[in-house]
Structure 1
Amino acid sequence: MNVDDYQAEAADTMQFDKHDDKALSIVILGLNGEVGGLSTEYKKKMRDGDSYVIFRQKILEELGDIIWYLTSIATIQNISLSEVLEYNLKKIQERWADPRAALTLGLGVEFLDDGYEETEQFPREFVAEFKEGTDKKGKICVDVYVNGNKFGDQIRDNHYEDDYYRYHDLFHFSYVTVFGWSPVVRALMDKKRRSNEKVNEIEDGGRAIVIDEAISALVFEHARNHSFYEGVNTIDEQLLQTIKLLTRHLEINKITPRQWEQAILTGFEAWRRMRKEKVGRVICNLHEKTMFFEKLL
């Protein structure tokens, strides 16, 4: 049965005016009740086991009622049921599709800086080396080198506790590796796209750099409460949607939650190794979207 045909026929069975101010409240409360009914039927199945022979019939009935109320909500809001289903499929495909399969980033290019001169492109392969030591005041710090060149200033934790945030450039490198984005890395590698004034200002400028750093700090605080993602394969949807919200006006607005998840987990895998070893390097390959950690002897 065509879902929009179902929606039209279901609307004819409403026993209230869909334009009434109370209509939406009626169907939402009705939906809540039907979900409770579904839970009740499942409870009976758990209690009675195979002797509850009408379980399938009851589930069929409860699911139908739930669909009716869901459809009614869409009708009241002037949304077609097919639009709801298409939107949901797109959302879950973006969330769970293989991130390596979407090489074009939805933009018709493999990398965001394709078409620019090499001096304005991320190197497609690079090695980032981390060396821990102490500064002139005796504080623990890290020096980072990319392909043998000094990368930014010495980094400290800037925290009351020793939390190893000094290795957080690994997170920026993971964003570069998985989907070719990090205004922080682009600036410190001197790869800003100055040939395009608007791109240089908006995509590679100060505001984008702040967002890049904010994402790193935000995710780090979330990871702190989840064992820094050790043994974790999925990240909370709310966090991923917050990142999408922060970047919705930037060129990476088409990056899927699944790609963000891969980048974050890739970065933290390297970070946990670096925290343990204190020195090491990561070998980054943008074509393969891989970042491998190597211990330095």
Structure 2
Amino acid sequence: MNVDEYQALAADTMQFHKTQEAALSIVMLGLSGEVGSLSTEYKKKMRDGDSYTLFREKLVEELGDIIWYLTSIATIEDITLSEILKFNLKKTQDRWADLQGTAQLPLEGDFYDDEYDEKEQLPREFVTEFNEGTDKNGKHCIEISVNGEVFGNTIRDNNYEDDYYWYHDLFHFSYVTCLGWSPTARGLMHKKRRSNEQVNEIEDGGRAIVIDEAISALVFEHARNHKFYEGVTTLDEQLLQTIRLLTRHLEVQQATPKEWEKAILTGFDVWRIMRKEKIGRVICNMHEKTMYFENP
């Protein structure tokens, strides 16, 4: 029996004739009650251990009731179980697929700007340098270069206390390295795709740059409350979904939560070293999706 056949047969056992709203309320409350019953059976198992010999039988019963109520909700809302399962499986695979174990190195055509002339392509390999300097007012700042070329203006923290956000361009570099995307970096590297007016305006323009910077700031504040991700291997699901929501109209919408997670953690791995060393070089490789810190 496949899941949609089960759904059709289960629908025949729905013994109430109510409005859609009333029926939905009944099955929602029924689902809540069955989840409680499942918890009760588990409590008995914890209390009595192996002497509770009915646990498996009760587990089958309670899980079956939960599935029935879930199926009823889907039926009332005219959603097939197969649609739900396919969506859920894709979502979990996107989130938890092992990038190291399953992903291959990008091939030609895998980067968003492959079809453009090299002068409009992000560099597939590049070296960034961070050096201390002073701005026009004589204040301490950071100067950045990429492949020997000046990258934007000098940067200060713009905060009451130094929190080393002035190294945040490392996050843009990690988005380039791991995702092949960063409107901010593309603009400051003078790699905007001006040959395509629409792409230049939407993908490489001001709104996209604001989103790129917003993601950097959002993640930084989240990281601040989690020891700047030191020792962290898994990021908060809500954070990743917020990022996907912000970028859903851009080319980077193709990036999975797992890929965003890798990009963010890669950037912070280097950022923590840079915060300690103050200056240094970072070797970035888009093909291998790697960033390495190197002492100057």
Q: CA deviation at 1:137?
A: 3.8
- Show CA shifts across 1:137-195 (max 9, x none): 45331111111111100111111111100000000000000010000000000000000
Question: Aligned partners of 2:133 and 2:223: how far apart in 1?
Answer: 25
- Show CA shifts across 1:91-123 (max 9, x none): 011111134645699xx9310000100000011
**Larger CA deviation: 52-61 vs 125-134:** 125-134
SS in 1 for 2:292: strand
Question: Aligned partners of 2:129 and 2:97: how far apart in 1?
Answer: 32
Q: CA deviation at 1:17?
A: 2.7
1:83 partner amino acid? E
Partner of 1:155: 155
SS in 2 for 1:132: strand
- Show CA shifts across 1:226-245 (max 9, x none): 11111111111101000000
Question: Aligned partners of 1:236 and 1:186: how far apart in 2?
Answer: 28
- The number of aligned residues is 295
- Show CA shifts across 1:186-235 (max 9, x none): 00000000000000000000000000000000000111111111111111
CA contact (8 A) 1:104 1:111 kept: no
1:25 partner amino acid? S
Question: Aligned partners of 2:225 and 2:138: how far apart in 1?
Answer: 30
Question: Aligned partners of 1:250 and 1:268: how far apart in 2?
Answer: 24
Q: CA deviation at 1:134?
A: 3.5
Partner of 2:206: 206
The change in CA–CA distance for 1:68 and 1:138 in structure 2 (over 3 A counts) is: same
- Show CA shifts across 1:48-80 (max 9, x none): 111111111111111111111111111011000
Partner of 1:72: 72
Question: Within 5 A, what are the aligned runs for 1:107-126?
Answer: 109-126=109-126
- Show CA shifts across 1:15-39 (max 9, x none): 2136432111111111111111111
1:90 partner amino acid? K
Q: CA deviation at 1:136?
A: 4.5
CA contact (8 A) 2:168 2:216 kept: yes
SS in 2 for 1:249: coil
Question: Within 5 A, what are the aligned runs for 1:165-244?
Answer: 165-244=165-244
**Larger CA deviation: 220-229 vs 108-117:** 108-117
SS in 2 for 1:22: helix
Question: Within 5 A, what are the aligned runs for 1:261-280?
Answer: 261-280=261-280
- Show CA shifts across 1:256-276 (max 9, x none): 000000000000000000001
Partner of 2:145: 145
Question: Aligned partners of 2:32 and 2:200: how far apart in 1?
Answer: 50
CA contact (8 A) 2:105 2:287 kept: no
Two-structure CA RMSD over aligned residues (Å): 1.7
Question: Aligned partners of 1:211 and 1:143: how far apart in 2?
Answer: 23
Question: Aligned partners of 1:277 and 1:40: how far apart in 2?
Answer: 55
Partner of 2:289: 289
CA contact (8 A) 1:104 1:110 kept: no
Q: CA deviation at 1:282?
A: 1.0
Structure 1 unaligned spans of 5+: none
1:68 partner amino acid? W
